[in-house]
Amino acid sequence: MMNLVKWARLRSPWLLHFNTGACNACDIEVLAALTPRYDLERFGVLLKGSPRHADVLVVTGPVTRQVRDRLLRVYNQMPDPKFVVAVGTCCISGGVFNGCYNVYSGLDSVIPVDAYIFGCPPKPEAIINGVAALLKKLEES
């Protein structure tokens, strides 16, 4: 029974895209990964609008102090089991904004993160690779 559930989980990760103050470059790359050219639906990936429907929270951009509460609220609204992917350098460490008075140094200082995708911005291939790495980690757990 647990095997069946695990199999299902690996094959239908639904994404929720959240922008914590990105410059839009990472957002465009995330959307590009969902276009027909890369067609993530092959792996069962769908983009969902509501946090209640999603499994994977894809976060782009440096986490600002203003967005922290909203980010936490969206994170808490997602049903378990939930996973977080940090896309782009800003999201991982704050990037060029690291040390600013209004920016946290990385997403993992606010919520637990399961996968990091480097790049400024990362290519769609890198994002797909990151999601695949997350799924692999899930499979081994």
Which residues of the shown chain bind another protein in the complex (CB under 8 A)? 4-5, 7-9, 11-12, 36, 39, 41-44, 48-50, 52-53, 55, 77, 79-81
Minimum distance, C-beta of residue 14 to another protein, in the bound complex (Å):
8
Minimum distance, C-beta of residue 5 to another protein, in the bound complex (Å):
4
d(CA 74, CA 18): 9
Token duo for residue 62: 């440096």
In the complex with another protein, the residue whose CB is nearer, 51 or 119, is 51
In the complex with another protein, the residue whose CB is nearer, 50 or 102, is 50
Q: Are strands 56-60 and 14-19 parallel, antiparallel or unpaired?
A: parallel
In the complex with another protein, the residue whose CB is nearer, 13 or 21, is 13
Residue 5 phi, psi dihedral angles, 5° rounding: -65, -40
In the complex with another protein, the residue whose CB is nearer, 44 or 112, is 44
Minimum distance, C-beta of residue 4 to another protein, in the bound complex (Å):
6
Q: Yes or no: say if 46 and 14 are a contact pair by the CB < 8 Å rule.
A: yes
Cα–Cα distances (Å) from 135 to 1, 3, 30, 35, 47, in that order, read: 19, 15, 17, 20, 16
Minimum distance, C-beta of residue 87 to another protein, in the bound complex (Å):
20
Minimum distance, C-beta of residue 7 to another protein, in the bound complex (Å):
7
**Helices (DSSP H) in the chain: which residue ranges?**
2-11, 25-33, 65-77, 89-93, 124-140
In the complex with another protein, the residue whose CB is nearer, 25 or 46, is 46
